Structure 1
Amino acid sequence: MEVSTRYPHVIIVRLAPEILLKSPTTRRKFQKHLYENLIKGLRTQEIDFEILNHEGRMQIHTSDQEKALDVVSRTFGISSYSPIDKIIDGGLEAHKVAAVELYKDLVANKTYAVRIKRLGRKKKHSSVEMEREIGGMLNKYAKKVDLTNPEVMIKADVAGDLAYFYTKKIPGPGGFPIGIQGKALTLISGGFDSVVAAWYLMKRGALNDFVFCNLAGAAYERMVLEITKVLCDRWATGTRPKLYCVDFEGVIDNLRANSDPQYWQVILKRQMYRAGCEIAKRIGAEAIVTGEALGQVSSQTLSNLNTIDQVADVPVLRPLIGFDKEQIISDARMIGTDKLSEKIPEYCALNKRRPATKSARKNITEAELSMDFNILTEAVDNAKIYDMFNVNDQDVAQHSVFIEEIPSNAIFIDCQPESLYDEWHIAGAENYNAGQLANKMKTFVKTQPYVLYCPYGTQSAVFAERMQKAGYEAYSFKGGIKQLKRMYPNGAELDDE
């Protein structure tokens, strides 16, 4: 072990056990990937640092411990890590004196224990001997020694005359360093499932790019862009993921016009798979990844998954296939995308009445015969590509659609489900779903602003954007129903005035 005097802080990083179990050649390869990912991640924080390798672990010497710890906590391939309280040179006697100086106040009136890990071949004293000697120096300051469940655990990694003292051993994310398993392409919708699925592939060491089949316009695209940005910023340490945005508006119109409604969900997924597989081949991805969980929706029955798989010419990976929704949402909360994902409406549900839960490959292939697949090819060819680490606030800004203050002469449009509209709506607001709004829009005037609202401000954003494209001054209220109820506490009761 070495001592760097250039930096005031040191962090010990321990490799995930799966890496240490590999053959020496493979272990060195994995450790090199982790080393490179940490360097890239730390450089993004614009801090001074140095990384040293020793005995199956790493030391990060840095000028900014807080930022470095943040990077380490989200870098796959790390089992645990410890911020070092102090590095002591001089052998056992110096270690005993230092332990008293560092921890006498910490152990006051508490139970404690000392654990020593010896590293390297140069060992003057055994671990047990050092634990007894150092622990004995602290005994008069503490309540008593408790080797089973101490209130304070003091640890030190010792190599030769050097001791690295610490009290915290923080669990890392585990897994493998991103990059050691090749590249995958995740079909991302912005909901809980696809984000969590991507995270699990990243944890197993796969580089991840993303394809987004956009069913609802630019506002929806910005939502998915923001969620993907958060996922990549937090967890794709050391990589440069890309997001491919494919406009599916024409694909959906073609599907609706030329196929049986009961099969819309299955055919839509097949079209998404086709788009994903084509992009995967173009970028050298070896598999596509989906967030499908068995039985969660109509297209995710075994029968329909079998039918959908027919069009995939690269492997389809489903890391969440046996998960329940509660577990997926819990994982999204840990990942840090749950609050954004919960605002994404369910755009894939083209037929909410009686979608088929069973299908046969032959029947669906025949049902697709009337469709124009050139539309899908053109959509893939024209995909928008975002480098996620070049995405900035302007790319995800929603100021052109969202509004936080209500114009005095605004006309309200309610985009809630009818049952929620009956429970509460702003006085005078008309209630429209997507189809109704499209038919009614031509009767609207273009001399007044329209403010649309829905429970979270997301569905209304899509409708507002469509109205803007048609030449109307239309906005989605950013605060959603919760904020509007504060502004208009009486709601529809004002209708009676």
Structure 2
Amino acid sequence: MPVYIVTVSGEIPLRSHRTRPRFYKRLLSNLVDAVERSGGRVLGARLLEAKILVETDVDVLEALSRVFGVHRAGEVAVHEFKSLRDLAEWAGREARGLVSGRRFAVRVKRSGVHDFTSLDVAREVGAVLKPYSAGVDLENPEVTVEIEVRGGRAYLYKRVVEGPGGLPTGVEGRALVLFSGGFDSPVAAWLTAKRGVEVDFLHFTLGSPRATYLAFKVARELSLRWLYGYRPRFMVVDFRRVVGEVASKVEWRMRQVALRALMYQAASRVAEKEGFDAIVTGESLGQASSQTLRNLEAVEAVAKPVKPVLRPLAGLDKEEIIALSRRIGLYELSSKVPEACAIAPSRVETRATPVEVERELAKLSQGLLDEAVSKMAVHDVLSTKPEYVIPSSDLEIDFIPEGALIVDARGWRGVEDGAIPGSIPLSKLDLEKPSVDRVVVVVCDTGSISQVVAGMLRERGFKAFSLRDGLKYWRREAVRG
């Protein structure tokens, strides 16, 4: 039965005596969630001053080390000792493999009343371990044997993993993150969650649904790896009609700024309706022309968000953001998310004024934003498959989601005649048993027949799409999600 000692972030013990219990309670709840998501059960847990002892039925060290509010987590061996000699001999048996052939040091922390000191324990254990090692080195050891003595029990650390620190997710309220899935917004979400905030994701579909699909995969990975204690949501607002109007009606140099203001306004409405405490963006000051200080000032002045706008990346450059993306395990997925095409043909405004932004927004159709927000789709990140966030209004898609059932609507000719590997002919699809847990993508040579077939399958209950431009597109592009 694995036993772990979780050292809490240094900020938590410094909280007032009235606030501290709430932080510990939430941290423990998040730790339990981390264990259960890893397929285990918490068999016991108790507070040891600024540490939490957790007993489980499976190895969950990595999961515990990814819970915000954790300074570090260590798997420990536990022993109820009868004497100092008994303690030293037990520690020798547990740690001889750790020090074998290496220089070592023993560090001891002790609490309670004993007839020996921490230094006595270190000396006795060191003497037992020395024959198995390359010698004692207190200045520059290759391995450190850590022991905690609490009352009549000793805890010897076998493995230790550093945690992210911060505050337990949930103690500082809820925030809505404007989420594209690229490098910036996931890191902004992570940094916000690290400060004790539950984050949900607001994604705007600006073009191909492939970007929405890939953004959801990033949000899902972020949630599975780091966001414990609640169920994050992924909210999708189809902004393609909004983008179309901005591109056709707004002066070209103001388009990027106007689109950003519209996103702020949409986020503000969602935040107010859903009861969020803040809005979070992945903006880094000056990183893009639309993110200059003057433009951000103008956007906020016009959008008038009802909640505070947090920008965790404001002072970071791109290299720092990418380094964080790698550190938190999202770089590979984020690198696959396509950047939205710029809607301005050349240099955009970098010093917009509120008057200019308001003038351009006035050119758009009334009710445009309300209509987009009213049709927002909400997905549970932990239980939704990525392919199910593709807007149902799209009959055609320009990619094949991972795990999709590919149905060839042509006369069956086989792989040697250009069929997509793994696809099946339409004749082999059971039309009376719609798949409820798998997306169907229909293909043909040009994408025309497949549209008709996909529409027919939808009428029969399938979640079906047609591959745009068919096998011509497949042969030309790497379209698999």
Judge same fold: TM > 0.5, yes or no: yes
Q: Look up the SS of the partner of 2:202 in the other structure.
A: strand
Q: 1:45 aligns with which of 33, 38, 45?
A: 38
Q: 1:272 to 1:391 in 2, by over 3 A?
A: same
Counterparts of 1:448 and 1:105, CA distance in 2: 63
How far did residue 88 of structure 1 move?
Answer: 4.2
- What letter corresponds to residue 29 of structure 1 in structure 2? R
Cα distance, 1:18 vs. partner? 0.8
Structure 1 ranges of 4+ moved more than 6 A: 468-471
Amino acid at match of 2:40: I
Aligned to 2:54: 60
Mapped to 2, the partners of 1:70 and 1:19 lie a distance apart of: 21
| Paired residues for 1:282-361 under 5 Å | 282-310=273-301, 311=303, 312-347=305-340, 349-361=342-354
Does structure 2 conserve the Cα–Cα contact (< 8 Å) formed by 1:402 and 1:477?
A: no
| Identity rate, percent | 33
Letter in 2 for 1:313: V
Where does 1:80-479 land on structure 2 (aligned, <5 Å)?
Answer: 80-119=72-111, 121-310=112-301, 311=303, 312-347=305-340, 349-392=342-385, 394-395=387-388, 397-398=401-402, 408=417, 448-449=445-446, 472-473=469-470, 477=474
8 Å CA contact 1:14–1:58 kept in 2: the answer is yes
| Number of the residue aligned with 1:490 | none
Name the SS for the 2:213 alignment partner. helix
Distance 1:349 1:407, change over 3 A: farther
**Structure-2 separation of matches of 1:108 and 1:247:** 61
* Distance in 1, Cα, partners of 2:168 & 2:8: 10
Q: 1:25 is paired with a residue of what secondary structure?
A: coil
Which SS does the other structure have where 2:219 is aligned?
helix
Structure 1 contact 409–448 (Cα < 8 Å) conserved? no
- Deviation (angstroms), 1:139: 2.8
Change over 3 Å in CA distance of 1:373–1:43 after alignment to 2: farther
Q: Which residue of 2 aligns with 1:31?
A: 24
User: How many Å separate the matches in 1 of 2:405 and 2:186?
Assistant: 25
Change (3 A) 1:471 1:136: closer
Cα displacement (A) at 1:157: 1.0
Opposite residue 239 of structure 2, the aligned amino acid is: F
Residues 78 and 153 in structure 2, CA contact (< 8 A), matched pair in contact too: no
Q: How many residues align?
A: 423
Distance 2:315 2:232 in 1: 27
Segment drifting more, 32-41 vs 158-167? 158-167
Aligned-pair CA distance for 1:474:
5.5
Shift of 1:477: 4.4
Equivalent residues of 1:222, 1:398 under 8 A apart? no
Q: Secondary structure at the match of 1:59?
A: strand
Equivalent position amino acid for 2:344 in 1: N
Q: Distance in 1 between matches of 2:98 and 2:256?
A: 61
Q: Which residue of 2 aligns with 1:459?
A: none
Gapped regions of structure 2 (runs ≥ 5): 390-400, 408-413, 420-442, 448-464
CA contact (8 A) 2:79 2:90 kept: no
Distance 2:145 2:258 in 1: 60
Query: What is the letter of the counterpart of residue 322 of structure 1?
Result: G
Q: Deviations over 1:21-60 (max 9, x none)?
A: 2122222211111001111222223323222222221111
Residue identity opposite 1:12 in structure 2 = I
Distance 2:380 2:163 in 1: 27
CA distance, structure 2, for counterparts of residue 28 and residue 380 of structure 1: 39
Provide the secondary structure at the position in 2 that maps to 1:169.
strand
Q: Which moved more, 1:326-335 or 1:39-48?
A: 39-48
TM-score by length of 1: 0.79
Are the equivalent residues in 2 in contact too, given 1:401–1:474 (CA < 8 A)? Answer: no
Tell me, yes or no, if the aligned pair for 2:285 and 2:292 is still in contact at 8 Å. yes
Instruction: Tell me if the contact between 2:299 and 2:357 (Cα under 8 Å) persists in the aligned partners.
Output: no
RMSD, aligned α-carbons: 2.8
**Contact 1:299 1:305 (8 Å CA) reproduced:** yes
Aligned to 1:12, the other structure's residue is in SS state strand
